[in-house]
């Protein structure tokens, strides 16, 4: 990679980032598409987001930034405009910087999740009953796209009860009246569900080896999805597999949300095959 005065930068903002594959995937995509761009990491919590976003706003070398936990919701006040879908979701994972120093927020997590779900499984969202663990940025995007595509019911829970309450209200108001909050630790509705989603972050980073639910509540009639992809199998997914459930990790979601990001930042078609090959190389230790 050659960096010069014309290079456009993208940084991923959030913490922890040590498990992220995004930089290699994105930079391979830029190379394959002939784009003079560079993607790198900025590990930070939400405490100094205002200063960080203002820095990006006034640095023309930035095309924008990507946003991950725990900043997808807290970044919203520092943006000038939200894409209509992002506004409904109230969570942002992609920021585009315009030539007149404006910051526009988008959310590609939902399309990334849904594309992966449809392409990589036989799950049919229409009239399905779902259970989502985690009501942060990823949970917001996933529940929103499921409601949009016609699920019958989404049970939502989070250790922060106010986050689950807010997401439940937003889904019912902006998408469809299908969401119901359940107390964290209440697994009584899981037996009804064909899709169980771990969007809590439990199982990655410092919580590796733990699961947000007991193994015994998972059954063979479920598809269990974890938004995490490093490790490739969280404890949640290993437990689900032991119980005979189908499993899907967040690698496809990472790929397809990244494809959508490149198209937002550049207005050009993203090289999906090259990005997929790079992700596979990473998972194979190459």
Question: Which are the catalytic amino acids?
Answer: 72
CA 266 to chain centre: 20
Specify whether the CB–CB gap between 270 and 262 falls below 8 A: yes
- Element (DSSP H or E) covering residue 95: strand 94-97
Name the DSSP letter for residue 212.
S
Give strand pairing partners of 196: 131, 224
Specify whether the CB–CB gap between 279 and 25 falls below 8 A: yes
Specify whether the CB–CB gap between 200 and 212 falls below 8 A: yes
Closest CA to 175 of 206, 139, 210, 151: 151
Conformation bin of residue 93: beta by default, left when phi > 0, alpha when psi is -120 to 50: alpha
């Amino acid at each position: 990679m050659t960096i010069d005065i014309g290079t456009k930068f993208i940084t991923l903002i959030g913490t922890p980032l040590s498990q992220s594959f995004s930089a290699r995937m994105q930079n391979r995509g830029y190379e394959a598409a002939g784009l003079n761009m560079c993607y790198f990491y900025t590990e930070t919590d939400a405490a100094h987001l205002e200063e960080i976003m203002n820095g990006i706003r006034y640095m023309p070398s930035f095309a924008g930034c990507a946003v991950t936990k725990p900043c997808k919701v807290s970044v919203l006040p520092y943006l000038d405009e939200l894409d209509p879908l992002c506004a409904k979701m109230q969570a942002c994972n992609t920021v585009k910087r315009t030539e007149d120093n404006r910051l526009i927020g988008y959310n590609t997590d939902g399309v990334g999740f849904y594309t992966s779900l449809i392409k990589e499984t036989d799950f049919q969202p229409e009239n399905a009953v779902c259970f989502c663990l985690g009501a942060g940025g990823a949970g917001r995007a996933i529940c929103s796209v499921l409601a949009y595509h016609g699920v019958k019911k989404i049970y939502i829970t989070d250790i922060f009860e106010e986050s689950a309450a807010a997401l439940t209200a937003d889904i019912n108001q902006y998408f469809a009246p299908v969401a119901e909050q359940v107390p964290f630790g209440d697994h009584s509705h899981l037996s009804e569900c064909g899709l169980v989603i771990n969007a809590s972050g439990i199982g990655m980073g410092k919580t590796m080896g733990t699961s947000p639910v007991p193994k015994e509540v998972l059954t063979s009639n479920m598809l269990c999805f974890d938004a995490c992809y490093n490790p490739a199998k969280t404890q949640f997914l290993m437990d689900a597999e032991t119980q005979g459930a189908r499993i899907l990790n967040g690698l496809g979601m990472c790929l397809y949300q990244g494809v959508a990001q490149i198209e937002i930042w550049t207005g050009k078609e993203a090289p999906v095959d090259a990005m997929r090959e790079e992700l596979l190389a990473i998972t194979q230790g190459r």
